[in-house]
Amino acid sequence: MSTQTSGRVRFDALGIATTDLAASLAFYRRLGLEFPEDAEKAPHVEAVLSGGTRLMWDPVPDGEAAPGGGGPQLAFRCDSPAVVDALYAELTEAGHRSVTPPWDAVWGQRYAVVADPDGNGVDLFAPLDTIPGAVG
């Protein structure tokens, strides 16, 4: 058994890229997960499971390929936006494929995606101090 000891990141969520957000949320509602009434129209949806791990859904526009081939993606919460950038650089410089370079997501996180050696998407994220585009 292995434990995580780096202190820079912790497993936080499992992300699902979907081409039909409404159908996906309807499926998970039948399993007992709860979402806001108009969640199907959101650019990003989350549900917190017991124990604190989150499931996250991101709609993929028609005609676009889902990051990481469309399967679920592991998501690691970083200590800060700077750690997202540093870890992304470290992984891509070590030869791991970039899926999505770091960017400030509309839901208020610094976000990047790197493929693991098997091609699975691994999300790196950290909360931003402010949400991009927010009027304050």
CATH code of the domain in which 85 resides: 3.10.180.10
What's the pLDDT tens digit per position in 97-130?
999 999 999 889 999 998 876 677 888 999 998 6
Nearest by Cα to 92 from 113, 62, 109: 113
| 136 in a structural domain | no
Instruction: Tell me whether residue 78 is in a domain.
Output: yes
Q: Does residue 32 belong to any structural domain of this protein?
A: yes
- Residue 1 resides in a domain: no
pTM: 0.63
Does residue 25 form part of some domain? yes
Q: Is residue 4 part of a domain?
A: no
- The boundaries of the domain holding residue 40 are 9-127
Per-residue pLDDT in tens (0 to 9) along the chain, 136 residues: 445 546 788 888 888 888 888 888 888 888 788 998 899 999 899 999 888 888 888 888 766 665 555 667 788 889 999 999 999 999 999 999 999 999 999 889 999 998 876 677 888 999 998 655 554 4
Q: What is the identity of the amino acid at 37?
A: E
Q: SS in 3 state form for the chain?
A: CCCCCCCCEEEEEEEEEECCHHHHHHHHHHCCCCCCCCHHHCCCEEEECCCCCEEEEEECCCCCCCHHHHCCEEEEEECCHHHHHHHHHHHHHCCCCEEEEEEECCCCEEEEEEECCCCCEEEEEEECCCCCCCCC
Q: Would 134 be classed as within a structural domain?
A: no
Residue 13 within a domain: yes
Count: domains in the chain: 1
